[in-house]
Amino acid sequence: MSAGKNTLDPETLVAQALGRVDGETGAVVPPMHSATTFARGDDYALIGSHIYSRDSAPTVAHAEEIVAALDGGGGARLFGSGLAAIAALLETLEPDAHVLAPQVMYYAAQDWMRRLAARGRISLDLYDQTRPETLEPLLQPGRTKLVWIETPANPTWDVVDIAATAALARSAGALLGVDSTCAPPPTTRPLELGADIVFHSATKYLNGHSDLTAGVLVASGDARLSDIHAVRNLTGGVLGGFEAWLLIRGMRTLFVRFARQSETALSIARHFEAHPRVSRVLYPGLESHPGHAVARSQMTGGFGGMLSILVDGSLEDARRVATATRVFVPATSLGGVESLIEHRRSVESPTSTVPDTLLRLSVGLESADDLIADLEQALSAA
């Protein structure tokens, strides 16, 4: 089953978990190894390729191979959370390295960057992701070590041109890191567009079932991956065997889930785009979205299941809508099979610039008609 696997489409590879039938039992579902330590033989050589789970483990390594294949990378490293992965990447930078990051991005990741900057660990500048021309003047050739982009940007879903930003970063001698959590491999492969590092909160679309927390970094080359691995090994931010097994299970349905969620999200966005109780719909799949052309060029498998609506009213009006839904669940996170609604301003940090009336929607696998009707009744009730 593994013969010729490199010629297979990523959708085929992930559906079959890289085509691995268990050699001992013939099981078509990959086994789960929970061992933390691994034995040596009579010559005191390791029996296998693993020594201790803080360094590596079979099920974790299998999940990493799948993610690397999905993103077309040289390798991947899984972590116990998305923030642990981002922290490890930043740890690989030299002291006082200059980092550029967007003004609107996952707020906890930006908070961590701000914390490092406040302590003199890095130098940080934030650029306006809605105005690409603001990035180049902030580059410091030779000193800027990492340019970070998130596309689409959470929770306003601004779109950043990955290829153009990669060229700018390269001209300054910087790495380009892309948070592609909301544009997973079925629709975007940033390494093919010039990125050096791809990050996913694997908690979200890669897993897709809201039952594990994980993060992953995928690198285009071995040198950076070795440094990332060393940081993970020394800090211990590893993923457990059971969580890695859940992730493998989730990734096997990634393509079909993402296609359905993208289709439903587009239907919802179009329905509410001119709604009298909604002042604006933010979704890159809408032709009215300012980043639609770029999104269409780099999101080739759908525009995703994430969108935001701005309620025509006050902060309290928006919060009431979020608690009046009956199908959408008012909760944090995204990418699962159940649809979620969140008043984003209530959960972000004090530095957040998110509008008071923004509701973030994560579209799941329910009926599109039911989700639309639920939002209609919630808007009327509030």
d(CA 127, CA 134) in angstroms, rounded, equals: 6
Q: How many CB atoms lie within 10 A of CB 160?
A: 23
Q: Is 179 in the active site?
A: yes
Q: Which of 204, 252, 344, 360 does the annotation list as catalytic?
A: 204
Q: Which of 71, 161, 179, 196 does the annotation list as catalytic?
A: 179
Instruction: Locate 331 and state its tokens.
Output: 């909760």
d(CA 146, CA 109) in angstroms, rounded, equals: 14
Instruction: Locate 304 and state its tokens.
Output: 């995703």
User: Cα Rg for the chain, rounded, in angstroms?
Assistant: 21
Q: Which of 20, 71, 77, 106 does the annotation list as catalytic?
A: 106
> DSSP states of 324-361 as a string?
H-SSSEE-S--SSSS-EEEEGGGTS-TT----TTEEEE
381: Cβ–Cβ under 8 A, 6 or more apart, which residues? 320, 321, 324
Q: Which of 5, 54, 143, 320 does the annotation list as catalytic?
A: 54
CB 52 within 8 A of CB 84: no
Number of residues assigned to the chain: 382
Q: How many CB atoms lie within 10 A of CB 88?
A: 22
Q: Is 128 in the active site?
A: no
Q: Is 54 in the active site?
A: yes
d(CA 174, CA 193) in angstroms, rounded, equals: 15
CA atoms within 13 A of residue 304's CA, in its CB half-sphere: 35
Place of tokens 């966005």: 269
Instruction: Locate 151 and state its tokens.
Output: 């596309």
C-alpha distance from residue 354 to each of 3, 104, 106, 136, 315 (Å): 49, 8, 11, 24, 11
Q: Is 143 in the active site?
A: no
d(CA 111, CA 48) in angstroms, rounded, equals: 41
Q: Catalytic residues, which ones?
A: 54, 106, 179, 204
